[in-house]
Every structure is written in structure tokens, then in C-alpha cells.
Structure 1
């Protein structure tokens, strides 16, 4: 199983079992130990690799324990402190990590509740753990851009120097992305004032600020939707395409709720964000031939199927992603024989728009 597939499998496990895990010990057994084993690749039952309840006397603090220490070559490389999954992580939870980081050889410290993993190092001062993580992995919403750096901490390809070199950029880019996302969700006063001053020439009174709070929030959301829809609309490619259908599709492709409703409920099947985005692109292309509601999807263990009228005998395309390094778009000829086309990015689906439309017309 590929690294991304294992990561998605852990994410599914957390999602399915989260409600049943209410203690710290249960969090360790159900979530953290499988993460150490299947994602980081260390044998949790081998004390030469993973030491549970790791103890090191720290100043006047005697007998304090850290939940796990990951060893390489007889030296501590990674420290892991766990909290129960029902608690959001706070920097106050990391007090033992701060102390242990200074008295061991560890360069990486991890604070986790089994769903969110915060990775720390010592960018700000040598041998002193930073107050902010350089990498935050949320299994409920995996950021694919973090996967290569996370993989470098695994036993198989352990590359600590490379991770430390990337840590500063990861730290600030990640923080900026979270800050930008927070502004779009709930704009701060400074954000509102900045854009209000760009478009409003009068004095920014309390009444004006209240009015523009709603306007800036609305404009921000519309801007994000427009960016997504503009890219998807390029797939339609027909000058005379009816505006009413465009409006229907624009509403469709910008709806996270609609995509979520499409997910297969089979807990052994992992439907990824990339598959859903690929589905929406194919759906947008198909809308030049049929109404959007006729384009359906079914996920399976081996591929993500896109069908006309939810009919297996009317395949439009298949997405062969499944966490592999090379992704394939499966297209069908008049005899329903599938040919796989390697793609490096979702944008390349647009290049096959004519084939997708031809498949739909063959079923007319």
C-alpha cells in the first residue's frame, strides 16, 4: 500500500471511530500507535524503535514521562505527546515536550490528539522547542502539500536534515494559509477596514463598518467561488452553450454539500478530494451534452466511476487515482473499451473534453 493510501486509511479510521474514543489511552491505542506503525513505519512493539512512557529526569522534575520516544541508532529522534481525541490541542499541552526537547537529542516533537498532529522543531533557538509548529497535519482535512515532508520522517526514507531545512518555509506558509482561510471564514476588523477603504470614500463610521462586514464576507466567498467556477467553465468549450445550463452547473460545482452527498458510504472505500474535483470537471464537460443531474458517480476500491444516468452500462470516464504517484483518466470508445491516459494534474482532464462528449453522445 502506498504512503498516501495508508494516510487516507488512517484518516478514514479516525473519522469512523472518533465518537467511540473518549479517553487518552483509547486515543493512543486506536489512533496514535497505528499512525506510528503504518505512517511513520516504526515497530511499536520493538523497544529499540519505539519507547512508550519514555522517562528522562528534567531538573527538579523527576520521573516525568513522555508518551512515546522514537529511536534511531540508539538515540531519541522524535518525541510524541498524546492527548485524548475529544480535546482540541493547546500549547499548554506541550509543557513536557518543551522540557524533554532540551535534554534529549530529539529534533522533532509531536503533539497530537490522534486526529491533528502538530510537529515542532527548534528554528527560533537551538535545542529549545519552538512555540509554534512547523507542520500541522489534520487527518480530517489532509493538506496534500505536506505529504512529501511527512514522508521524510518515516523510517523507510528518514531525512531529518531535509525536513529541518524545509521547516521554516513550511511553518510560515502553513501559518499564512490558516490565517488567510480564517479571514475568508470570518474577516477581522483590520481586513474589513482595509478593503472598505479601497472602495468607500467617506469616513468609516461604526455604521459603515457594520454594513461592510457583511459585504466583505459575501465578496470574499463569491471571489473564491468565481475562481473555482472560472476554471471549470473552460471545460465547456462550446460558444453557444446556454446560459441557463451554465448557471446550473456553476451552482453545482461550487457546492461542497452536493459533493459530500455524492460520497460512497462504504467505509472501506476512501473517496479523495482529488477524485471529487475530477468528477466535477468531467461533469462540467458533460453539461454541454446533457443536464448535470444525469451525470453520476460511484466510487470503488480500484477506481472512481463517472456514469450517465447512474447506469454501469453507460460509463463516461474512470478516475484511477487511489493515492498512486501516477494518475490515469480512463476513457471509452464506441465499444466501451477503456483506454487509460496518464495525467499529471487535474487540469489535463480538459484536454480530453472531446472524448468525454463523444462517449455521452454515443448513448443518446
Structure 2
């Protein structure tokens, strides 16, 4: 340590591999009137205290602000689209007074949820970064690099309670868990210890295999066990599944080998759409029940077009709102590029969902026909 002419002190200090310090020179501004070995003055100058270092404090504040803006922006944007859809429906409805009252409640709930989600993500991000910086300061960046993020996330996790102590967010928690599993699998692929266990994840079409397993569970629950689904996800599937609940009940009865007890409800539904059909109580293949007088191939095409129209309003805010929030500075510089990517993402996701739902009904018809053919097959004739 040696004094310099400008009232500063040169301290021989530099980071070692364990997060400690030795060697090298940096200049710290300690007042001449203070004792030469004053720890408080010199530590603040070297930036060892994370909350006296403006850069680290800025990181905490920035993370909190970004977390709040992302949470409030996404939740508020989705709520805004939902409210606009409700207002559009209320204009076409005859029960105006009831609709106005329910719309006010929906707006109040949307504002409350927007703020609570913003506070949740802002607190989560701020707590995570704060704990991360504190642990790094106390234990050193190098020595704590492998585990401090785990502890910081564990401490920040309870901030989900800010969305409402009496509200369960099982779906959100499971989604975050699945994202964590994806990150863990990527680390496992690169690990020497777990590389062999995670080897199937590197297969060329391993993601398609996982998608097929997930779809088999989702679609079977959608038709056979709707009460096992969360209300919001159940509503999502019923909307994009594109079929009246009476039709789903009929398909469920056929799949379970049960007597068809709601054929009148299905016929009444088709009659309301201008289609006159008469269903056979002894039917074993639900094609007529699923798509009326249409052929299976014509139904797939018409359903795909309808499904694509239903999917566009869902994915448009999902892509555009985060783009406006996360890339707000870039949007001002190159709006066409970011807006174009948002529209492309919207189109691709809408195409995926519409093909997914269309193929689900196509395979429903096809598999019923295949299994029916096998059940009637008496073996090869000689």
C-alpha cells in the first residue's frame, strides 16, 4: 500500500482462483485524514461490499424492474385481450346490464392480477440477484459458482405467495419445474458422470417421442377424464378442440363401451348448426357423431381452417406483448424486423396448434375404424 499524490491509496490486490485477492494494483480513494488501515473506507473503495458497489446495486434494481415489467406486461396484455373479447361479446348479447356488471368485475380482477404478477416477478428477480451477490461477496465468486444460484432460487421461490396466499398456481409451478428439468438435462448431457443416462435426450427425434407421450395423456384426459384437468386448461382444450361437450360425452361412451345416452343432445346441437342427422344407437365408429354429414377428409380440412382462426388471437399477444416489453429499445430502431418475427412466431404457433387439433380428430376417426376392422377380422382365409 503506498500513498499517491491525488489523495488516493494504491492497494496491491487482484482476484485469485478461489475468489480471494492478491497481487496487482488498483487505486482506492481513502481520505488522508483517515487511518491508513481503515477497513470501512478502503473496502467501500475496492467495491467488495455488493451493496456499496453501484454496479451490483444497479443489477438488483434493474432485475426487479425488468421482472415487474415482464410480469405486469404479459399478464396485463393477456387480460386486456380477454377484456376486449368480453366487451365485443357483450355488444352482441341481449343481457346488457348483467354483462356490464361482469365486465367491471373482470376489469378489477385483471388490474389486481396484473399488479400481483408484476410484484411477484419483480420480487423474485430482485431477491434472486440480491442473494446471489451476497453469497458471492461472502464466499467468493469462484468458490460459490456451482451452488449459489440453487440457493438463491430456493430463497426467492416463496415470492409466488405475493400473487395471493389463498391462490394455488400448480400449473405455473409445474411449468417452471419443467423448464428447470430442461436446463438440468442440458447440463446432464455435457456431464461426464450423467452423460450416459442423458444420452437418449440427444437422439435426433427424441423430442418428438416426448411430444407423442405427452399428447397421448393430454388427449385421453380431454375426452375420457375432463374432471382431472385444471379449469383454465380444460377451457382451453374445449375451445380449441372445437367440439360441443355433448359430442365429447358421446365419444367417451363409445370408447368405454357404454350405452349411448345423449344422442338427442348431439342431434339437437347439429340441428342448431343447420345439419340434420340421425345417429344410430348401436354405432361403434363415432365418425357421424364427430363431423356429421362430412367425410373424414373434408372434416380435417374444414376443421384445420377453423382451428387456425381460433389460434391466431391466442398467440398474437403471446408473441407481440413480450417483444414490446423485452425488446422495447430495439423495437424503436428496427420495428419491422421485430414485428415481422412476432408475426412469424404467431403464424408458426397457430399452425402447430391447428395441425395438432386437426390431426387429433383425424386419428380418432382412423383408429376407431382400424380397431373395428381388427375386431371383425376372422384371420386369413385359405
TM-score normalized with structure 2 length:
0.23
Looking at secondary structure, tell me which structure has more strand per residue.
Answer: 1
Structure ID, larger Rg? 2
Looking at secondary structure, tell me which structure has more helix per residue.
Answer: 2
TM-score normalized with structure 1 length:
0.24
